[in-house]
Chains A and B, each alone.
Chain A
Amino acid sequence: MSVVADLTDINQASVAAHARSIGDVVLSVQNISLSFGGVRALTNISFEVREHEILAIIGPNGAGKSSMLNVINGFYHPQEGKIIHKGVERKSMRPHEAARRGIARTFQNIALFKGMSALDNIMTGRNTMMKSNILAQALYFGPARKEEMEHRKFCEHIIDFLEIEAVRKTPVGRLPYGMQKRVELGRALAAQPDILLLDEPMAGMNVEEKEDMCRFILDVNNEFGTTMVLIEHDMGVVMDISDRVVVLDYGRKLADGTPDAVRANQEVIDAYLGVGH
C-alpha cells in the first residue's frame, strides 16, 4: 500500500477518532515482576491500556517507570508475568519485534542517531516499511526511488507538524535539547505506531517548550488516535493531558484511575504528592 493511501486512511481514522471514544484494551500488563540481581525494579504489576487513551505513569525517582516501558517494548525481560498485545500473549520479545508490531517509544535520555540529520533520523522510523532490495537501492531506479520519495513525503508531513522545518538537514548532535526531543518524537511517529511510549517527553524543558510538546502529544492523539503511555513528573501536565494515571512506588502499583481519583487517593498523597513533588 502506498504511503499516500496510508495518509488518507489516517485522515479517515482521525475523523473517527476525533470523538476519541476510548476503545477496547489493546495492551494488558499482567503480574509483571522484574529484578536486577537483588534490586526489585517491578513487583507484580498489572494494568491495562485502552485504545486511543493517554495513560500516564507517575511515581518518585527509581519507582520503576522506565523499567515498565522497557518491559513493554521488549528491552527488559521480566522474570514473571506476561504482556498481551492486540490479543497475542508474550512473555518476552526482542525490541525490533515489538517495533514491527506497532510499539514505538522515546527515551528519558534522548537516543537519537547523533551523526545523522533530523530528516534522516525521522526517516529511520520508516525503515521497517521500506522494502526495496540492496541492488535496487544501489542503482536508485524505479521502485527504490519511488519508495524513497513516498516515505520522504510522509516524513515531511511529520516535520511540518512538529515545526522543525528549519533544522531538517542539521545533524541532530548540533540541535538544542528541546529540538532533539521533538526529532525523537518525530522518529517514533514516523513508524505510525499504534502504541507510543514516551519516557519523560518534557523533562528539562521550559514552560513554552512544554506547552508545545503537550500540544503535539494531544494533536497526535486526536488526529491519529494513537494510544499513548507516558511518564511525566510535572503533575500539572499529567492532570491536564492524561485520561488515566497509574502510580508506581518502589516497584509496586499504588493506584490506577482517572487523574481526579488518583489525586484524591490518600495512599498516593502520602507516598508521592505529599513529599514535595
Chain B
Amino acid sequence: MLYREAGQFKTTYSADQQIFPILQDRIGFFVTMAVAFIAIPMFAGDYLTQTIFIPFLVLSVAAIGLNLLTGYAGQLSLGTGGFMATGAFAAYKLATSFPDLNIIFVFILAGLITALVGILFGIPSLRIKGFYLAVATLAAQFFLLWLFNKVPWFTNYSSSGVISAPPMSIFGVFVTGTEASHTAKYFFLLVLVTLLALAAKNMVRGHIGRAWMAVRDMDIAAEIIGIRPLQTKLAAFAISSFYCGIAGAAWAFIYTGSVEPLAFNIDVSFRILFMIIIGGLGSILGSFLGAGFIILLPVFLTNAPHMLGLNIPVDIISHMEVMVFGALIIFFLIVEPHGLARLWQIGKEKLRLWPFPY
C-alpha cells in the first residue's frame, strides 16, 4: 500500500479541498519541483536545457491552454498556432513600442490581447460544435498567419518578415537576447509555467471549471441548471487563448529568439492537439506528460537504433516518427481518451491496493 487515500481522513472540507489532497501526490509534487528547480539547472547542461527543457516548458503552456478549451470545455480548436502567433507578435509590438515595459507585463498584456482575439474567434462556438467548430478555428489559424505575413506593421516593416526579441531583463538578469544564459531563460520559464499551471489547476476545480465540464459533458443539461452557454464558452476561449498567447510570446522571445509567422503554422496546432490527446484530455498533468512525450519521442527514435547497434537511415527514422505518432493517437483516441494521465491514475489505483489484490 504505497499509494493510498484510505486512512488519510479529511476532518475538514478545506483539507479535502486542497490542490493535492493526497499526501503521496503532495510529495510527488514537491519532488518534481525539487528536480525542476535544483537538479535540472545543476546537471542538465546548456545543450539539453536549450533543446529539451525550454521547449518542453513553452509547449506545456500551450498544451494547458488547449486542454482548458478542448479537454475541459469540450470545444475543439485547431487555431492554437494562430493564437500563439498572436501572442508572439503582440509581445513584439509591445516590447518594441514600449522598451521600458518589463517583460512580465509584456507577456501578460500579450496574453490579454490574445484572449480578446480568442473571444472573437470563439463566437461561432455558440452556434456550431465539433467538426464544424474545428473548421471555424482552422479559419482563425489561417487568417491570423496571413495577417502577420501580409501586414508589415506587425513586423515593424522588417523586409524578411522575421521578428527578433529585443534583449530584456528581469531583476537585472537578461532572459531574452544574445546575452541571456540558458539557465536564466530556464528559470524564468519555470517560474512562469509553475504559476500558470497552478492557476489552471485552481480554475478547473472552481466553479468556472465545473461550468466548462458541464458544457462539455451535456450542454443542454448545463443550460437547464442555469449555466449560461455564451459566457462559459467565451470564458474558455479567452483563458485558453491567454495561455496560448503567453506560450507564443515565450516561444519567440525565449526559446528561439526570433521567428517568422510560419513558425506557428497548422503543424503547431496539430502538435499541441496531439500532446493533449496523448497526455490526457481534461488533465493539467496530462498537458505536461503530452508535451514531454512529443518532445522526447523524436529524440528517442533517433538515438535508440544507435544504442541498439542498428543502422537505420535518417529518412526512415523521420517516417517512423510520423507512423509512431499516428499509431499512438489512434490508440489513445480509441482505447484511452484520457491519455497518459489516466494510465498514471490507473497505475496509482493499482498501487493503492498493492500488495493485496482486494
- Point out residues on A near B: beta carbons under 8 Å: 73, 75, 94-96, 98-100, 104-105, 107, 111-116, 120, 123-128, 130, 132, 134, 137-140, 144-145, 148-149, 152-153, 156, 187-188, 191
Contact = CB atoms under 8 A, between A and B. Distances in A.
Given A95-B224, A134-B208, A153 B13 contact: yes
25 contacts: A95-B220, A95-B224, A99-B224, A99-B226, A107-B221, A111-B220, A114-B218, A115-B213, A120-B210, A123-B207, A123-B210, A127-B225, A127-B227, A128-B225, A130-B207, A132-B206, A134-B203, A134-B208, A137-B202, A137-B206, A137-B207, A138-B200, A139-B199, A140-B19, A149-B17
A99 B225 contact: yes
Nearest to B217: A113
B225 A152 contact: no
Contacts of A96: 223-224, 226-229
Contacts of B213: 113, 115-116, 120
A127 B207 contact: yes
B135 interface: no
B217 A138 contact: no
B218 A127 contact: no
| Interface core residue of A98, A113, A126 (most chain B CB under 10 Å) | A113
A100 B210 contact: no
Say whether chain B's binding surface is mostly helix, strand, loop, or mixed.
helix
B206 A115 contact: no
| Interface core residue of B203, B206, B222, B225 (most chain A CB under 10 Å) | B225
Nearest to A153: B13
A95 B228 CA distance: 9
Contacts of A134: 203, 208, 235, 239
Say whether chain A's binding surface is mostly helix, strand, loop, or mixed.
helix
B160 interface: no
B214 interface: yes
B52 to A, nearest CB: 28
A83 to B, nearest CB: 16
B18 to A, nearest CB: 10
Given A115-B217, A140-B202, A94 B223 contact: yes
A191 B217 CA distance: 19
Contact of B225 (A94, A144, A153, A187): A187
List the 8 closest pairs (A to B, CB-CB), nearest first.
A99-B226, A137-B206, A113-B217, A111-B221, A138-B199, A128-B226, A130-B207, A140-B202
B224 A111 contact: yes
A104 B225 CA distance: 7
How big is the B interface, by class?
20 to 34
A134 B214 CA distance: 17
B282 interface: yes
Interface in B89-138: none
B346 to A, nearest CB: 13
B297 to A, nearest CB: 28
Contact of A138 (B202, B220, B223, B224): B202
Contacts of A153: 13
B211 A149 contact: no
A152 B12 CA distance: 11
A187 B13 CA distance: 19
B14 interface: yes
Contacts of A130: 207
Contacts of B239: 134
B216 interface: yes
A105 B220 CA distance: 12
B243 to A, nearest CB: 11
A124 B206 contact: no
Given A99-B226, A127-B210, 13 more contacts: A99-B224, A104-B225, A113-B221, A114-B217, A114-B218, A124-B227, A134-B203, A134-B208, A134-B235, A137-B203, A139-B199, A149-B17, A152-B13
A167 to B, nearest CB: 15
B210 to A, nearest CB: 5
A148 B235 CA distance: 19
A250 to B, nearest CB: 26
A138 B204 CA distance: 9
Interface string B207-251: 111110110111011111111110000010001000000000000
